[in-house]
Amino acid sequence: MKILITGGAGFIGSHLAERLLSDGHEVYAIDNLSTGRLENIESFRSNPKFHFFTGSILDLKLMDELVSKCKQVYHLAAAVGVKYIIENPLLSLKTNIVGTDNVLELCNKYKAKALITSTSEIYGKSEKVPFSEHDDRLLGSTHISRWGYSCSKALDEFLALAFYREKKLPVVIVRCFNTVGPRQTGQYGMVLPKFIKAALLDQPIVVYGSGKQTRCFADVSDVVDAFIKLMDNPECEGEIFNVGTTEAISIEDLAVKVKNMCGSKSKIEYMSYEAAFEEGFEDMMNRMPNLDKIHQFIGYEPKYTLDDIIKRMIEYYEN
């Protein structure tokens, strides 16, 4: 099958491309390389079944050409990382909203099935943990940049569901919770690769806020496997699924774990959110997905523990 991945040189996109190629598919990928990297696709770029295009999902002519060739589209291209979103608020909103509208319009035009990647940021600062797909959302003021990202991804979901209901376009929506693994960069605020790189270099491991906030980290291989199974199951069309793991850890405990597993001499330091991001920055204290629905539909069970993930990432960065 011919399949298009938007954001195909990104962290998740490159792993998805590699997996789809190994499954025998012909893969087209587009990435504007704002956060994606050519080195992510270097190991399989010469594969005759892989076709890479440097460009934007806002380029309708190029997108039309690519979608017209494909039966499925995995739409991963988006503004990613809290730091990037705060520094580029206008481009982030346009990429997420206009870009997704382009993808859905073209999928509808060429009758291609679409997977739309959303985010745990959808749930905002709700304290009802674990988060279920039908839960209400609780957001902060429009003066705080990070909530614009949550709203833009919510609009993506509304658009996808509208195309499904009105146009009968087969779409699947996934809400990712802290996907991590090899190839991920800490450059845009991703906490685990940032901690590991600092620990390996014996540099300070910097924890934002109190460090008491908890997160659940899912391995990219588990997430990619879930994407493919969701796309291959017709019963998943028109549905929203959390994808992640329920193994929770506080950020300060994560810093200690990473330091110990790296055998590092790093000091653990704390920094306020305001100093790290922007005045008035708000964070969620706890973020955990309810995975009952995705388990019911595709039997999803994460294979990798947090220790497994950290070991894999340490080996990757050491090499």
Catalytic residues: 149
Distance CA 29, CA 4 (A): 6
Asked if residues 163 and 171 have their Cβ atoms less than 8 Å apart, the reply is yes
Torsion of CA 74, 78, 83, 84, to 10 degrees: 130
Asked if residues 69 and 103 have their Cβ atoms less than 8 Å apart, the reply is no
HEC string of 30-97? EECCCCCCHHHCCCCCCCCCEEEEECCCCCHHHHHHHHCCCCEEEECCCCCCHHHHHHCHHHHHHHHH
With 0-12 / 13-18 / 19 or more C-beta atoms within 10 angstroms meaning exposed / middle / buried, residue 263 is: exposed
The single-letter DSSP state of residue 234 is: G
